[in-house]
A and B are shown apart, each in its own frame.
Chain A
Amino acid sequence: AQSVSQHNHHVILSEAASLELGCNYSYGGTVNLFWYVQYPGQHLQLLLKYFSGDPLVKGIKGFEAEFIKSKFSFNLRKPSVQWSDTAEYFCAVRSGGGADGLTFGKGTHLIIQP
């Protein structure tokens, strides 16, 4: 069975600080990896995804994530955060090559202080 671990449940940063949110998964086969974001009062939106190829993927709003297969990790990064990045961030995994349901981590609540 797949599982996803997000290391930090709550993160508080000041504007312009750099961000890295950790995500580790457990699954032995080929995986698809995702980061979703949920802004206050809004629904889950896709930030970025990895299926294959370049392990460094870029998403919307300046976010990027790096897939490190040897570490079973898919950490989310942003060099300079903004107040509008305040949201809940979820890492998710799915066995590769299909349209299976996603396995989510518990989420990280990110608060950016102006």
Chain B
Amino acid sequence: EAGVAQSPRYKIIEKRQSVAFWCNPISGHATLYWYQQILGQGPKLLIQFQNNGVVDDSQLPKDRFSAERLKGVDSTLKIQPAKLEDSAVYLCASSSRQGSTDTQYFGPGTRLTVL
């Protein structure tokens, strides 16, 4: 079974530029998550999708971050404009949501550096 795919793996941009990340979850997984992991900290949930609908985006900085999952499969996360403090690894995870035995599987992440 193929895992969660993410691209690009690395991205370097200057502040105030825009950037987009892509995620393709494990086939058949209905739930998709985006996390932000700043150096020295654990991942922090940004947004959760169930199929193509948003379940939780309470921690997403909506003035600059946006995400979509139009067809309920792959997803993109965008930052516009980027700030220095957005430098982090952006992780995508997916789960099949089989009731209470749900487990999240993580992709390799995209490391963003904002100069």
Residues of A near any B CB (own CB < 8 A): 4, 32, 34, 36, 42-46, 49, 51-52, 90, 92, 96-107
B48 on interface, CB distance cutoff 8 Å: yes
B17 on interface, CB distance cutoff 8 Å: no
B95 cross-chain contacts in A, Cβ below 8 A: 99
| CB pair B48 A51 closer than 8 Å | no
Nearest A residue to B109, CB-CB = A43
CA distance A90 to B3 in the complex (A): 20
| CB pair B56 A51 closer than 8 Å | no
| CB pair B102 A44 closer than 8 Å | no
Using C-beta atoms within 8 Å of the partner chain, give the interface range for chain B: 20 to 34
Nearest A residue to B97, CB-CB = A99
B109 cross-chain contacts in A, Cβ below 8 A: 43
Given A43-B108, A43-B109, A46-B103, also A101-B56 (CB < 8 A): yes
A107 cross-chain contacts in B, Cβ below 8 A: 40-42
CA distance A10 to B106 in the complex (A): 23
A96 cross-chain contacts in B, Cβ below 8 A: 100
B56 cross-chain contacts in A, Cβ below 8 A: 100-101
B31 on interface, CB distance cutoff 8 Å: yes
B40 cross-chain contacts in A, Cβ below 8 A: 106-107
